[in-house]
Amino acid sequence: MKNLLLVILLSVSVSSIAQKLQVEFGRLTQAEIDMKVCKLNPDAGAVVLFDIGETKFVDSEGGYDIRFTKHKRVKIFNKSGFESAEVSIPFYVDGSGKTEYVKSIKAVTYNLEGGKLVRQELDPSTIYEEKVSQKWRVKKFVFPNIQEGSIIEYQYILETPFHFNLPDWTFQDVIPTLYSEYEVRMIPFYEYVYTVQGSPSFNYHNSIVANETRSWGNVVKSYGQNIGTGIEFNDYVHTFVLKDVPAFEDESYISSISDYIIKIDFQLSKFYSPKGTSKEIMSTWSKLNESLLKNEYFGKYIGVSSRIAKKILKENLDLSGLSEQEKSVKIIDYVKSNFTWNGYSSKYTDQSAKDFFNKKSGNSADINLFLLSLLNEAGVESLPVILSTRNHGKIKTDYPFDHYTNYVVVMVNTPSPFLTDGTESLLAFNRLPPRCINEKGLIVSDDEQEGWVLLTHNIPSIEKSLILLEINPQTLNAEYTVNIQTTEYDAYGYRDTYHNDSVALRELLSNKMGEIDALSTSNYAKPEKPYSIFIKGVTDTDRLGDNLVINPFLNLAITKNKLTQKVRSYPVDLIYPGDTQFEISLQIPDGYQLSSVPEGYNMNNDLAEIKLSYEADEEVVRIVGNYNFKKSIYTSQEYSRIKYYFDTIIKKFNEQIVLEKIS
């Protein structure tokens, strides 16, 4: 142990290139009170004045817990910054009796009233807790009395018994940050590796050995030497500081902010016992694979559920005479029709196979691992694939840690292999939910080789709108008939969001198209077929003197570009390729003629296609157009081109047609 301490002490670099910010809760500076705008970004609705975190190991029964303290102060300039007053604090529960605890929450709102600084403390009774998933909870609160010009400040302590979960630190926010600091006080029993994302260097990075000496076990001194069985040690203090951090902007078309925001991430790699032994924590994907197959809530669950699967196949499913593909389709449909997802994502089951079968409801692992057993018992070779959902962040393949993945799906090895998921009845048998389309997943098998499978989806989703417009000669408004036909994930988006609810669909489409007189749908419960929406209604025309002005696309094309930055350092992730198509027929009413026809457009390259053409005679204007994004993910180098294509679509597919009254 003494040699170990020496190695670690020698490896600690000591550098001091700047002074840390000294702050005290409740002591505001005059500069903070007087601040009217953020110099870093004058358009920002709020600014983080400072965000300071500290992690240290504290004594607990028989070992050490980790104590994390966060202290943050924000200045709000206008109403667009009010969202900063809503705070969420996540914490982890392992489901076996161990949990993290959030405590000592204090929060204060400061307002300048009549020239005096008035403070209002958060009422502790307004703090509430939500269950995010089976192993994650969140404490939430909202600051009281928020106004333009408010300063808000909060501090809390989180204590955790989980050493693998050394709190990470995010230096960047959705608003500018003037000062962000993270201090980590480590002890020699736990070795961590850390990765820094999004920032090439720190304004201040210091590593020192703390002066205070601590002890573990029975330390007995004789002539200054320890003759006991315990040991003495010092903390190793690492401090990281970033200043003037710009806001993380343009969150559209992104997998997860956590994949790209500036942060530091710690992972436990090795444990050194005070008794002299050590244990490697840093695993390999192959070893993780092996441990999953032995896990009670993964591999053993598959084995137990296979016995129930045999009974189901014998009593409920007649698969005789079917091909492997036909068997798999029938089994997947059976699971989707008979079992309900409870909304929780996990790669570990939450109940026994027997309880799941009896309740007919469970988390994603309950469902998909049970589906896996059914397929294998039917003779259709299938394997589990673990992945990370989009909101959980991408898998860092260089660091094989269990918590980087949070979901399991099934790879079905028919002559035409495919991935499937039993949680979504509104998706075709060979499609994953969009939440699962996140780069790649790890195949779990007893093969010692590490195997990865791509989760990307390259089949275009199509949304085609057939529009017929006729001008009512009495009201001079446009009566329309529209048939919207959607396929693949575009169809799933409608199905999953609106659940065939005519009221919700009317609200969505009437906001775009105008008054709706009739609406119907088809193929809602048939995910393998296009989902169609039929609408009849009336939309207003604009009057320009005696002329009529109409948007023939009825606002069904893109109307706003969500890509707002000049440059972007991370990809544009559309999840899947999409092709939006229009066929429009506008009847020219008696007494009117076409004033002018907008110019067509034709662009086609490896990234996208934009086509638009107009044909007109004395009776009708015919418009045919489409815009097709050919890739699901575009690199940051392609960003400016994609942004330009969006701008072009918005301009070209929202041009109006003018009908001129014949004198």
What tens digit of pLDDT does each residue of 277-319 get?
A: 888 886 789 888 999 999 999 999 999 999 999 999 999 999 9
What share of the chain has pLDDT > 70, as a percent? Answer: 96
pLDDT at 97: 75
Look at residue 14 and tell me whether its pLDDT is greater than 50.
no
- Which H/E stretch holds residue 489? helix 488-498
Look at residue 1 and tell me whether its pLDDT is greater than 80.
no
Region 90-113: what's the mean pLDDT? 90
Report the C-alpha gap between 446 and 298 in whole angstroms. Answer: 13
pLDDT at 246: 93
Look at residue 209 and tell me whether its pLDDT is greater than 50.
yes
Report the C-alpha gap between 193 and 186 in whole angstroms. Answer: 12
Report the C-alpha gap between 389 and 401 in whole angstroms. Answer: 15
Provide the β-strand partners of residue 386: 408, 442
Q: Report the candidate in 183, 148, 10 with the shortest Cα–Cα distance to residue 75.
A: 148
- Mean residue pLDDT of the chain comes to 91
pLDDT band at 651 (very low <50, low <70, confident <90, very high): very high
Region 469-473: what's the mean pLDDT? 90
Report the C-alpha gap between 358 and 374 in whole angstroms. Answer: 16
Query: Taking CA 624 as the corner, what is the angle to CA 622 and CA 630, rounded to the nearest 5 degrees?
Result: 175
Predicted TM-score (pTM) of the model is: 0.88
Report the C-alpha gap between 10 and 278 in whole angstroms. Answer: 19
Residues 659 and 552: beta-carbon distance below 8 Å: no
Q: How does pLDDT run across 227-268, given as a tens digit for each residue?
A: 676 788 899 999 999 999 999 987 799 999 989 999 998 988
Look at residue 78 and tell me whether its pLDDT is greater than 60.
yes
Look at residue 488 and tell me whether its pLDDT is greater than 90.
yes
Q: What radius of gyration, in Å, describes the C-alpha atoms of the chain?
A: 30
Report the C-alpha gap between 182 and 169 in whole angstroms. Answer: 7
Look at residue 6 and tell me whether its pLDDT is greater than 50.
no
Residues 281 and 273: beta-carbon distance below 8 Å: no
317 by Cβ neighbours in 10 Å (0-12 / 13-18 / 19+) ranks as middle
pLDDT at 18: 52
Q: Where are the beta strands (DSSP E) in 17-150?
A: 46-60, 63-76, 86-92, 101-113, 116-121, 128-131, 136-142
Residues 331 and 339: beta-carbon distance below 8 Å: no
pLDDT at 376: 97
17 by Cβ neighbours in 10 Å (0-12 / 13-18 / 19+) ranks as exposed
Report the C-alpha gap between 559 and 398 in whole angstroms. Answer: 41
Look at residue 7 and tell me whether its pLDDT is greater than 90.
no
Q: How does pLDDT run across 326-368, given as a tens digit for each residue?
A: 999 999 999 999 999 999 999 999 999 999 999 999 999 999 9
